[in-house]
A = this chain, B = another copy of it.
Amino acid sequence: MYPFTDGSYAPKNGWYVAAFCHEVGEELLSRWILNQPVVLYRKADGTAVAVQGRCPHRHFPLGASRRVGDAIQCAYHGITFDAAGACTFVPSQEKIPGVYSIKAYPLVERGLWAWIWPGDPALADESLVPDMGDIGYSLPGYHARALFYHHVEGRYQLLNDNLLDLSHLGYLHHSSIGTPDDAATPETREANNRFIRSRRIMRNTLRPAVVDWQTDFAGPIDRVSGMDFHFPGFHAGIADVLVAQGHARAGELLRSNRVWHAVTPAGRTTTNYFFAMASPDPKALDEAESYLKPVIEEDIFATVEIEKIISTLDELPPELMLKSDGTAVMGRRALQRMMDAERQ
């Protein structure tokens, strides 16, 4: 499906954020992931688990069921599955049919996130979870915080496309975090087999609206903006504001944010969207929760409105690509390659 080849929806063999760690607790948490219902919860010993959210008996949602110790008991007929997916109890018969089990997802908690692997568990290599160093999570002196979770009524690649082309900051977010320089300044790109990195360094640049109250420095500024897309669904970004080159305080960090967007397919045209960030200044995180709320909503607005158009039109005309789409094109190709490889 658009923008991928027919029959291509999403790579399965990859680590996707299923939840923020803090969302996973004693209560069962229901979430659709790659068009499958999933249930997340934390065992008595604190371990987070994710299992199939559909009872194999009659398709009842296990997320609307009950915990019995570390197991889930289906609220319909009482069939019970442990945290590894094994069936431990069938109320109506003593012998448990051999075929009875539910899928248990490989799950890793790292950073603020609970990552699951929807594909073949045998391939679920923990070292493929984005490196916390690479994403700027373990920067000394930075405080990280989970800020927003949204269920978005648009297909996931629209959000990936959004994050892979930050030239939109100058327009979609012109009233807050971006300026025309975000679009006018060329970006550099590099890629390896795990992520694509783009960086944009704006020298002596326009001041985004939010900078005015974020600092009392009134002189010239430089900005560094960039995003790393860790396949298949994690974006780690940098947003720094510095005193401009040439000034006496040149290079002094006025503001420094690390931002993380996790984009996980929910249904065919819906998405789980997680936003978190870090800053050396905890107060900056409090402020961010307020000034980034409308920013994230602008991205969601774009996603939802584009989804309406592309799912209504009888035939979708081709997109007319620009040079600034280079990173997005690389990102799409990376996912398409993963999907193609899975099909073989």
A: residues with CB less than 8 A from B are 32, 35-37, 54, 56-61, 64, 73-79, 90-93, 97, 99-100, 161, 165, 167-168, 170-172, 180, 183-184, 267, 301-302, 305-306, 308-310, 312-314, 316-317, 319-325
Contact = CB atoms under 8 A, between A and B. Distances in A.
Contact of A322 (B57, B165, B180, B312): B57
Given A57-B319, A75-B172, A92-B324, 7 more contacts: A36-B313, A37-B309, A54-B309, A57-B325, A58-B319, A61-B309, A100-B320
A59 B316 contact: yes
A93 B171 contact: no
Contact of A92 (B54, B93, B308, B323): B323
Nearest to A99: B320
Given A54-B309, A322-B93, A302 B171 contact: no
A277 B313 CA distance: 34
A54 B315 CA distance: 13
A171 B309 contact: no
- Give the copy number: 3
A319 B78 contact: no
A323 B93 CA distance: 7
A76 B171 contact: yes
17 contacts: A56-B320, A57-B319, A57-B322, A57-B325, A58-B319, A59-B319, A60-B305, A61-B308, A73-B171, A75-B171, A77-B167, A77-B168, A77-B171, A77-B172, A77-B322, A92-B184, A93-B323
A229 B302 CA distance: 40
A74 B171 contact: yes
Given A58-B161, A165-B77, A91 B171 contact: yes
A161 B60 CA distance: 12
A168 B61 contact: no
B312 A267 contact: yes
A168 B55 CA distance: 14
A99 to B, nearest CB: 6
Contact of A61 (B172, B305, B324): B305
A58 B36 CA distance: 28
Contacts of A317: 56
A185 to B, nearest CB: 9
A306 B161 CA distance: 34
Which among A75, A91, A316 has the greatest number of chain B C-beta atoms within 10 A? Answer: A91
B180 A64 contact: no
A279 to B, nearest CB: 27
A320 B100 CA distance: 7
Contacts of A325: 57
A35 B324 contact: no
Contacts of A314: 35
A211 B320 CA distance: 59
Nearest to A37: B309
B56 A184 contact: no
Contacts of A75: 171-172, 302
A101 B139 CA distance: 46
A180 B78 contact: yes
Which among A180, A316, A322 has the greatest number of chain B C-beta atoms within 10 A? Answer: A322
Given A77-B324, A180-B78, A60 B302 contact: yes
